[in-house]
Structure 1
Amino acid sequence: MGSKASAPGKAILFGEHAVVYGKPAIALAIDKRATITIKESHRDYTRIKSDDLDLEAILSPETGLKLKKGEMGILNYILKALEFYHDSTPINIKLKISIPIGAGLGSSAAVTVATIAALDNYHKRKSTLPSIARRAHRVELEVQGAASPLDTSISTHGGLIYLDKEKIEQIKGDLKDSLVIGYTRSEETAKMVKLVKERMERHPQIMNLIMDAIAHITRKARKALKSDDKECLGELMNINQGLLDAIGVNSKSLSEMIYTSREAGALGSKITGAGGGGSIIAYSHPDRTGQILESLTARGYNAMKANPSTRGVLIQ
């Protein structure tokens, strides 16, 4: 008996951090995925393994968790999903992942969503997309302490979404061959969310105005996407970036990638995700993405083209 499920990573186009305070955000699933395979174990323990991450762990009812190699990181999300949605019988879990870890591209959400979907299938439980997204968000909250439902929603549903509080709207926008992501290792999301929260407590009037401005940008970007107004969309990304800088989540490496992208022809470029390291997303006409990619890699940064994925979680 076995089960397999996969889920995509994500990139936030507009609204990161503001979404934590009830503001809208726009995000898309990207064509990089996490795949969880579950098989029945004939031993008295559960084995979790990922060759991609050089990770292996043993979970035993008698001795608890033993990390044989690798880091806890992404493992925490699998363990929490098992705690909530598995009956403790021994299983073998294998993770394959093409999403960069710790880069703000939704790797933890993708792994969580894929794990829950694979467990549901393994136990022959009926589940819906909203249920998977809701339970995955619960796991992220438990592990991180604070998390918006954005990552788990986009990983579950796929496509390009506009999230306003808990209401999800699939929207249309032609982003094919238009996006480049540059990435480094980021600070923990929870740490960056806490940093913004503390700044919010020190300067509530100023920070609330900034969050309101980000919300206005996101709403206007939704219209620009629908009308395929590329110049407006790029300009809005650059304005959004200025506000992300103001709330304290930029870094030297992110700033360098942002300006390198613009100099190479990006219409707009900004942080995507929590910041403090992590990733930037550059938006351009399709004939410029190759040059942007080359410029980022020439500066020593990791970079990749990213296309939208219309597929969310898949049970295979």
Structure 2
Amino acid sequence: MKAIASAPAKMILFGEHSVVYGEPAIAGAVNKRAYVEIKKSYNDKSILKSYDLNFEVELDTRNKSYILKKGKPGIIRYILEAFYRVHDHSPIVMTLSSEIPIGSGLGSSAAVTVATLAALYRYHNIRFNKKSLAHDAHMVEQAVQGVASPLDTLVSTYGGLVYLSRNKTFEPFRVNFNAPFVVGYTNKHGNTGKMVKDVRSLKNRNSKVINPVITAMGNLTNYAKQAILKQDYSKIGELMNINHGFLDVLGVNTVELSRMVYAARECGAIGSKITGAGGGGSIIALCPGKSKEVARGIAKEDNVLQVNFTKRGVSSRVRM
């Protein structure tokens, strides 16, 4: 018997970092996914391997530790935390594959966490629904990162384009938002946990300056919600550019991210900004009629990924 699950990556349009402090955010699932397969191991060892990510480890799920056999498993802490919370510590083999660049700011950890938990629940015949899965995945991310927003795991679980309000209500957009986005990402990976902690430290040291910025980011997200409902791409792009400035104030910008943001704008993007935690990772560019030009401009020095929003969230099943 095999338990199989997959979950999508996400793209944050508005609300990075401010969402951690109770402000609203807007994000959407995109058509790049993480895939997990879990089956019984016929020796006394639990193995986690990924052919496309090129690593293999021997797991100690009881003690949340591992022995590296090959490669560098940058996402393993989330997997170990998920196993620690759900698994009975019997020997298993887990295979992970991912279309999501690790550390790119596209929610690779959330997608892997959601897919891993869904596969574990199927493997152990544990009843679950999307609400409980999103909650449990958020608890895993919070345990690993120290501070985490529920946004990434909500999007990876439910799919679609969503608005997360100040009171944490989850509101899907009913409009068909097919805006043309190009994602640029660097080889310098971001570390979400570190960036969240760095912003908190900056906020604590300069609360009278940073608190109004975070509130303004929340207000901007609400303006963006209305612009999306009206399909007002010009306003969305303008607000993206302002949002990027706020993220720069929070200290999460880098030379590489700035290079991609301004390359995108010079090539015709009407809006471009960091997506995700920053410190490395990705930018997104809104470029109606200019997708090819923007992609070529970014690709001169960095990597490009073209994505579409998807309504498909987590998927799981058992195969005999």
TM-score range, shorter chain: over 0.9
Matched, 1:288 2:290: yes
1:85-138 CA distances to partner (integer Å, 9 max, x unpaired)?
Answer: 111111110001000001111001100000000111111111010111111111
- Counterpart in the other structure of 1:145: 146
TM-score (norm 2): 0.95
For 1:196, the equivalent position in structure 2 comes to 199
**In the TM superposition, what is the alpha-carbon distance from 1:65 to its structure 2 partner?**
2.4
Q: Which amino acid aligns with 1:30?
A: V
Give 1:125-140 correspondences, 5 Å limit.
Answer: 125-140=126-141
Give 3-state SS (helix, strand or coil) of 1:39's partner: strand
| Residues 241-288 of structure 1: CA deviation (Å, up to 9, x unaligned) | 111111111111101100100111111000001111111000121x21
1:66 Cα deviation from its structure 2 partner:
1.4
Query: What is the CA distance between 1:199 and its match in structure 2?
Result: 1.1
TM-score, normalising length: structure 1: 0.96
Aligned alpha-carbon RMSD (Å): 1.5
Aligned partners of 1:115, 1:80: CA distance in 2, in Å?
A: 10
In 1, the alpha carbon distance for the partners of 2:73 and 2:124 equals 26
SS of 1:276's partner is coil
Residue matched to 1:121: 122
Identity among equivalent positions (%) equals: 48
Range moving further from structure 2, 117-126 or 63-72: 63-72
Residue 102 (structure 1) aligned with residue 86 (structure 2): no
For 1:261, the aligned partner's letter is: A
Whole-Å separation in 2 of the counterparts to 1:262 and 1:311: 30
Preserved CA contact (<8 Å) 1:103 1:279:
yes
Which digits, 9 at most, give the CA deviation of each residue in 1:209-244, with x for residues without a partner? Answer: 101111111001001111100100000100111111
* Residue 140 of structure 2 corresponds to residue 154 of structure 1: no
Aligned to 2:244: 241
Q: Matched residues in 1 for 2:284 and 2:209: separation?
A: 26
- Matched to 1:176, the amino acid is N
1:176 matched to which residue of 2?
178
Q: Is the 8 A contact 1:44 1:60 kept in 2?
A: no
Q: Look up the SS of the partner of 1:32 in the other structure.
A: strand
Measured in 2, the distance between the counterparts of 1:196 and 1:132 equals: 28
Q: Is residue 224 of structure 1 aligned with residue 227 of structure 2?
A: yes
How many angstroms does 1:60 deviate by? 5.0
Structure 2 counterpart of 1:260, one-letter code: A
Q: Point out where structure 1 has 5 or more consecutive residues left out of the alignment.
A: none
Q: Secondary structure of the residue that 2:280 maps to in structure 1?
A: coil
SS at match of 2:103: coil
Matched pairs, number? 314
Q: Take 2:7 and 2:295, find their aligned partners in 1: how far apart are those partners?
A: 25
Contiguous gaps of at least 5 residues in structure 2: none
Once the two structures are overlaid, the 10-residue window that deviates more, 175-184 or 204-213, is 175-184
Residue 177 of structure 1: CA displacement?
A: 5.7
| Shift in Å, 1:174 | 4.3
The list of structure 1 runs, each at least 4 consecutive aligned residues, that deviate by more than 3 angstroms after superposition, is 60-64, 172-175
SS in structure 1 opposite 2:290? helix
- Contact 1:180 1:306 (8 Å CA) reproduced: yes
